Amino acid sequence: MLHNPLYHIYLLQLENYNLGRFLRAAAAAGLSAPKNFRNPITWTAKITGVTMLASILGFAAAMGAGSLTGSLLSNPSVTAWVLVVILLLLLYVGFFILLAAATLVTLPLDRVIRFSIKKRARKKVSRLDNLTIIGITGSYGKTTMKRVLKTLLSTEKNVVATDESHNTPIAVARTLLNKVTKDTDVFIVEMGAYELGDIKALCEITPPDISILNGINEAHLERFGSIENTIKTKFEIVTSVPDSKVVLNADDQEVMKNYKRFVGDRDVVFYSSKNSSNCKYEVYDKRFHEDGTGISFRLKSDGDSIGYTKVTHFADYIIGSVTAGLCVGQLLGIPEETILKAAHQITPTPHRLQPIQRTASNVLVIDDSYNGNPDGAHAAIDVLEKFISRRTIYVTPGLVEMGDRSEEVHHDIGKHLGAVVDVVVLIETSVTDWIVEGLRQAGFAGELITFESPQKMHAEISDLLKTGDVLLFQNDWPENYR
């Protein structure tokens, strides 16, 4: 790994221009940078402008160094030479300082542009009287829920959804301005958050007619500061829009413990994958297909069967997403049979329990690399437990942003793995020792393998595989964490 100014640009974008977090990440990286980034730099107008301004500041520093050098040739001075060296070092190893300075300089203009974009989006929403907005938030499952709902509701509605994991106010506003038209029936908005007020800000731009809360856990706890802050923030999707229809996950413990103090007397619709008594839909005849083709199941409501479907997905929570689609479909007047029939069209979300069949050696690779929360990790382990006739391999660096619950979270993951998986492959990070301790507590009798880096693991993982293995990659440690 070598110093690379592009890495500083990448970190700035990765930290969403939060200068405090960016400077800490850049300082921690020091003179090293990974050869390959997890994602490419997205050259938006903002990052391009900041980079250009930082380069101009660097050029000015270089000109200053040149001027001082010229003076030194005729009138040498130790102080001036020191200043020249400092300026030259700034250009090379201190590019992150120039980026931070450029970000500060452009901050007023950035705020004006953001205000204008959000104002235009709010104005457009006010003119679209027939548009139904569905807001989705939670510590996990937002993108999957969004994709499922878009698939199911598109059977009878013209549906637009926010792209990929674009869940910030500006990303949502731009999607609204660029893609939603007078012919759009439903706009599905994924709502992300790192601190109190984030969901409220999104609701001010796109106030949901239907508010969906998937679940609450320790995801991003380091940023939220406490689980109570996480709970309050996620329930902003309910409290910020008092007249929205509320759809909640009956399987999530934190949601069920806390919803009454936020929802009050409003009606609530529950969805579930576990036949919760709060959900009107009952799952039966559920079957897991070890050939990698997914889960099949039947549903009934009020004792009457409403049909059968098969979904190319491994985790049981996909059944909850389907029942959520049934609940939302009813609110929009779409027949249950139509929704359930469309469920077979659901495809896995990329990098979230996404199956990749390696047919040459009959190895099934499951890509869960974008899943970075405790519930998702345990769901992935549960998936491996279903492959009773195949050897299972679980690869992970652990989870980030777990705050003061990180040790407990990783002990639990280790204990769960120890009871289920045949081979555990750990990429060494600041949390892997806790996973190892959890494995020890569970009496893990399988094989434990560690790699010092993701690059080393990817180069050698094929040597570990046998015909018929199931290999799951869980989470991908971001570059701004050590």
Cα distance between residue 98 and residue 106, in whole Å? 12
Separation of alpha carbons 22 and 19, rounded Å = 5
Backbone angles phi, psi at 297, to 5 degrees: -165, 165
**In this structure, are 397 and 252 located in the same domain?**
no
User: How does pLDDT run across 236-294, given as a tens digit for each residue?
Assistant: 999 999 999 999 999 999 999 999 999 988 999 999 999 888 999 999 999 999 888 89
What is the residue-averaged pLDDT of the chain? 87
Pair (243, 177) in one structural domain: yes
Does residue 482 lie within any of the structural domains? no
Q: pLDDT grade, residue 481 (50/70/90)?
A: very low
Q: What is the number of domains present in the chain?
A: 3
Tell me, yes or no, whether 44 and 179 share the same domain. Answer: no
- Residue 30: inside a domain: yes
Residue that is last in its domain, among 111, 138, 169: 111
Mean pLDDT for 444-462 is 90
**By the 8 A CB rule, do 381 and 399 touch?**
no
Q: Is 257 inside a domain boundary?
A: yes
Tell which wins on pLDDT, 359 or 159: 159
The one-letter amino acid at 133: I
Answer for the pair 352, 371: CB distance below 8 angstroms, yes or no: yes
Among 345, 366, 381, which residue terminates a domain? 345
CATH of the domain at 428: 3.90.190.20
Sequence-distant (6+) residues with CB within 8 A of 309 are 296, 297, 298, 299, 322, 340, 341, 343, 344
Q: Decide if pLDDT at 144 tops 60.
A: yes
Residues 317, 188, single domain; the answer is yes
480 against 356, higher pLDDT? 356
Q: Which domain holds residue 26?
A: 5-111
Q: Which of 324, 345, 366 is the last residue of a domain?
A: 345
For 113-134, the pLDDT digits (tens) are 999 999 999 999 999 999 999 9
pLDDT for position 76: 56
Residue 9, pLDDT score:
87
DSSP state of 288: E
For residues 61 and 168, state if they share a domain. no
The closest of 14, 32, 18, 5 to 110, measured between CA atoms, is: 18
Residues 218 and 138 in one domain: yes
Are 288 and 433 within one domain?
no
Q: How confident is the model at residue 441 (pLDDT cuts 50, 70, 90)?
A: very high
Share above pLDDT 90 across residues of the chain, in percent, rounded to a whole number: 55
- Average pLDDT of 314-318? 90
CA nearest to 38, candidates 398, 370, 462, 365: 370
Q: Which band of pLDDT confidence, cut at 50, 70 and 90, is reported for residue 24?
A: confident
- pLDDT tens per residue, range 39-71: 678 888 888 999 999 888 877 766 666 665 555
Whether residue 89 is predicted with pLDDT greater than 70 in this model: the reply is: no
pTM attached to this predicted model: 0.82
Both 183 and 325 in a single domain? yes
Note whether 254 and 325 are same-domain residues: yes
